[in-house]
Amino acid sequence: MVIQKVNFHESFGKVMDCMSGQDRTIHKMETVIGLLVTLLLVVVHFKVMMYAGPLWRDEINTVNLAMEPSFSKIWAMKEYDSFPLLWVAVLRGWVNVGLGDTDLALRSLGLIIGLGILLAIWLNARWLGYGVPLLSLLFFGFSSTVFRFGDSLRAYGCGALLLLLAMGAIWRLVQKPTIPRTILAGVASIFSVQCLYQNLVLLFAVCAGGVAVAIRRRAWKTAFITTGIWVVSASSLLPYFGSMHRLRSWNVLLKYPIGLEWIFNKFSQAIGGSGTFIVWLWFVLMGCAIMVGIHRGFQRVPDSGEQQADKALFMGVGLIVGTVAYVAFLMVLGYQTEPWYYISVMALLAVSFDVAIYLLVSSSSTLRLIRLVFVVVVAIAISNGVWAAAGIRQTNIDLICSRLEAMASRDDLIVVNPWMLGITFDRYYKGSTPWSTLPDIQDHKVHRYDLFKEKMMDSEPITPLLSRISQTLHGGHRVWLVGGLHFFFPGDSPGNLPLAPRATSGWLASPYYLVWSQQAAYWVMRQTQGYTIVPVPVPGPVNPYENQILVMVERQNR
């Protein structure tokens, strides 16, 4: 351990000796700015932990799966979550070591993942040799998508962290293929795909970059080892084929004919949390990185420039293959993606930006200074937005539950619409008032789209619930609507839908959500004269994916 420390200082000293006085000054400035940005991001991650508050339905889905009583039960329900088992195992271990499953305890795990991403960014900068990771910190670390959803109780943050480690480890392997480096690259790669299925696509791109460098060097053994790492990582997902086959019976509800426009818009949403100009900067830097990768990666260079050419080739191939392959993956997947789907590919792109711009500016003190000023100016410009985004609550369902516990009676009825909100409601509601989702889904632990699919094939899916609503209202009691209903103007009437699949939209679920909500609203309006929106005070902004209203209806002659 002591020898490593001495070697590091000796090598660092040699680098500093080779620098001019101006270079050393700029290097110190870069380091100071990088550390200050990192410190600010540490504070941001702590704020996320303190303000995110209770879990929202997607997080609860994963936590509930992790806390099933046995591994066999977890395996049997694997199809109802979006990830392989590594993150589930991490969550289960976190709770079982005695830290508990309280919201704050679980948020603390998210904080650790967020801080781990920052550490991985710095570690990659050292492994890949591009100095201070200014652009990775600015464009990836400052992204509200990354710290809001990467620190959540889903696998996206951990997956990005492991992909970053795999990228750096594979580069080190390609540079000098030793047994320890091979083991490290293999373990990081396997863990990466065991955390996120889509990381297999991005790992393919990283390994393709490594193979390209190895082929250029005619290092066939290194190319074989790098290819083998991807093959072994892919093979580690074979046990999940059973659950993937089972989910094909119901995931048609999630399929949607997305195209390049959809992916572009959602990716822009993922990277543009701090403003439209950030989106344009991402695409400008992406273009620069591609040009640097092509120009410097494939040009003939003297031996003294071989290292930089290899780095450009590794980065350029990884960027191009990763972008194309990930877009193709999303189109084949056919899900209506959300911003958090893009966190891992954002990590790959941000590191590519850092490498490319480093290769452009490393030989010029003036260009390095311009890069440093650019980072400072952009960081200041987006800091207010970043700070505000870190204070967003993940849900207000817990506050609605508290309101209902105080106001609803035992003889009232609570209707939760749409049915997915029942997962959050089930975790936080402790009152005695009976409740049901619209439509009535019996399992509220995980997203049971298979049960919802059965409702779509039922000729009277919400009739029993409508009868309960009538009985409650005619008995002189109140009906509470969590999420509200689709009320419409008097004189209008709701539509109706045939049993799924429909000739026009197949298994698309959204029309059924809308029509059933309209039918329930029409049923309520026939028996009441109006509705009351119950105020639910919230201390700050709320995640738009789970920011709901509470409505109360009752007969006027009560």
From 196-205, 323-332, 360-369, 493-502, the region with the lowest mean pLDDT: 493-502
Alpha-carbon distance of 282 to 277, in angstroms, equals 9
27 belongs to a structural domain: no
Per-residue pLDDT averaged across 238-256, rounded?
88
Same domain, 406 and 333: no
Residue 434's CB is within 10 A of a number of other CB atoms, namely 13
In-domain check, residue 2: no
Provide the pLDDT confidence category of residue 300 given band limits of 50, 70 and 90: low
Average pLDDT, the chain: 91
Residue 7 has pLDDT above 80, yes or no: no
Q: Is the pLDDT of residue 244 over 90?
A: no
**Domain-embedded: residue 23:** no
Q: Are residues 450 and 499 in the same domain?
A: yes
Beta-carbon-side half-sphere exposure of residue 368 (alpha carbons within 13 Å): 21
277 and 180, same structural domain? Answer: yes
Whether residues 287 and 249 fall in one domain: yes
State which amino acid sits at residue 104: L
Q: Where are the alpha helices (DSSP H) in 53-155?
A: 57-66, 71-76, 85-94, 103-128, 134-135, 144-149
Please say whether the dihedral angle defined by the alpha carbons of residues 493, 499, 501 and 504, taken in this order, is positive or negative.
negative
Residue 99: per-residue pLDDT: 76
Q: Are residues 350 and 438 in the same domain?
A: no
Q: Same domain, yes or no, for 430 and 446? A: yes
How far apart are alpha carbons 422 and 426 in whole angstroms?
A: 6
**Predicted confidence band at 375 (pLDDT cuts at 50, 70, 90)?**
very high
Higher pLDDT, 511 or 47: 47
Phi, psi of 556 (to 5 degrees): -70, -25
The answer to whether residues 91 and 216 belong to one domain is yes
Asked whether the whole model's pTM tops 0.85, one would answer yes
How far is 182 from 201, CA to CA, in rounded Å?
Answer: 20
92 contact partners, CB below 8 Å, separation of at least 6: 66, 67
Q: What is the mean pLDDT of residues 375-383?
A: 95
pLDDT band, residue 491 (cuts 50/70/90) = low
Per-residue confidence at 557, pLDDT binned at 50, 70, 90?
low
| Torsion sign, CA atoms 332, 333, 339, 340 | negative
pLDDT in the model for residue 353: 94
Residue 26 falls within a domain, yes or no? no
Is residue 73 in some structural domain? yes
With respect to residue 3, please indicate whether it lies within any of the assigned structural domains.
no
pLDDT tens per residue, range 137-188: 999 999 999 999 999 999 999 999 999 999 999 999 999 999 999 999 999 9
Same domain, 385 and 401: no
Do 415 and 342 fall into the same domain?
no
Share of the chain above pLDDT 70, in %: 94
Same-domain status, 420 and 384: no
One domain, residues 259 and 136: yes
449-474 burial, b if ≥16 CB within 10 A, otherwise e?
bbebbebbeeeebbeebbebbeebbe
In a domain, 22, yes or no: no
Express each pLDDT in 22-61 by its tens digit: 778 898 999 999 999 999 999 999 999 999 999 999 999 9
- Listed residues 366, 389, 412: the one ending a domain: 389
How many separate domains does the chain show?
2
Structural domain of 304: 33-389
Token readout for 554 is: 């009752």
Q: Which of 325, 357, 389 is the last residue of a domain?
A: 389
Residues 375 and 442 in one domain: no
* Residue 238 scores a pLDDT above 60: yes
pLDDT more than 90, % of the chain: 77
Is pLDDT at 420 greater than 80 in this prediction?
Answer: yes
**The pLDDT value given to residue 5:** 43
Kindly indicate the confidence band of residue 12, based on its pLDDT and cuts at 50, 70 and 90. Answer: very low
In a domain, 44, yes or no: yes
Cα–Cα dist 229/211, whole Å:
11
CA distance between the termini of the chain: 79
Residues 180-200 pLDDT 10s: 999 999 999 999 999 999 999
User: In this predicted structure, which of 151-160, 206-215, 293-302 has the lowest mean pLDDT?
Assistant: 293-302
- Look at residue 305 and tell me whether its pLDDT is greater than 70: no
The residue among 372, 389, 406 that closes a domain is: 389
pLDDT bin (cut points 50, 70, 90) of residue 279 is very high
